[in-house]
Amino acid sequence: MDKGWGVVIVAAGRGTRMGTTESKQFLLLQDKPVFIHTLEVFAAMDEVSEMVLVTGAADVERCQDWVKEYRLESHVRVIPGGKERQHSVHEGLKALGTDWVLVHDGVRPFINREQIMGCMKAAMSGGAAVLAVPVKDTIKQVNAEGVVTATPDRSSLWSIQTPQAFRLSSLLIAYESADRDGFLGTDDAMLAERQGMSVKVVEGSYTNIKLTTPEDLEYAAFLLKGEKKR
């Protein structure tokens, strides 16, 4: 029997680039913590059978309280993460018992069902898929002296987002291999690519931002106002 889809939402980072006292995943957007906005999108999907929220060890209890407050306790388990994003994702993967997995950043609250479904469908036909958008700027490679060394052809460059979708057993093998080799990647697909897996890119939306630096909060408030009007 197909054991369906599990979701790992990572929210164990410190948000150093945001520079706030409170970690960015716990900041309020229209009175609701950022990570709750994110959880609610996945919790509303019948296609999702298991969901794990990975947070800092010191934040597990207050996250459980928030999860109860927003009536998500039947959907979400809260577990402690690790030092880097990759370690947190690995903890989440080990906690799941599904056939397929979506990995998503807790600080990308503007994801929607349509984009998630696109990613799931592409993974089920090809094994792995990531949401992404074509880059809008010209990208240059620059050396330590601040001098341009190359201008890659923009038509082949994409800005990679989450969710990223995989067969759980394959991604676990990729994570174990990275762990053994001391390899640290900046997204989940990088680890799958190391195993020779083919990763399909699914075009998403420029509004699926990762809250990273202070100006992102103003844009997030603007986006949320627009959502409420619809």
Ligand X SMILES: C[C@](O)(CO)[C@H](O)COP(=O)(O)O
Ligand Y SMILES: Nc1ccn([C@@H]2O[C@H](COP(=O)(O)OP(=O)(O)OP(=O)(O)O)[C@@H](O)[C@H]2O)c(=O)n1
Question: Given the rule CB under 6 A, which residues bind ligand Y?
Answer: 10-17, 25, 54, 81-85, 88, 105-107, 210, 212
Q: Which is nearer to ligand X, 94 or 210 (CB)?
A: 210
Cα separation, 157 vs 199, in Å, equals: 14
Q: 213: Cβ–Cβ under 8 A, 6 or more apart, which residues?
A: 17, 18, 19
Closest CA relative to residue 18, chosen from 163, 214, 199: 214
Residue 32 Cβ vs ligand Y, minimum distance, rounded to whole Å = 16
Binding site for ligand X (CB under 6 A): 85, 105, 160-162, 186-187, 210
Shortest reach from residue 35's CB to ligand X, in Å: 14
107: partner contacted, choices ligand Y, ligand X, none (Cβ within 5-8 A by kind)? ligand Y
DSSP-assigned letters across all residues of 47-65: TEEEEEEEE-GGGHHHHHH
Residue sitting closest to ligand Y (CB):
13
We find the least distance from the C-beta atom of residue 21 to ligand X, in angstroms, to be 20
Residue 160 or 172 having the CB closest to ligand X: 160
Contact partner, 91, from ligand Y, ligand X, none, Cβ < 5-8 Å per class: none
Is residue 8 a contact partner of residue 97, using CB atoms and an 8 Å limit? Answer: no
**Number of residues that this document lists for the chain:** 230
* Shortest separation between residue 2's beta carbon and ligand X, angstroms: 27
Residue 80's CB is within 10 A of a number of other CB atoms, namely 15
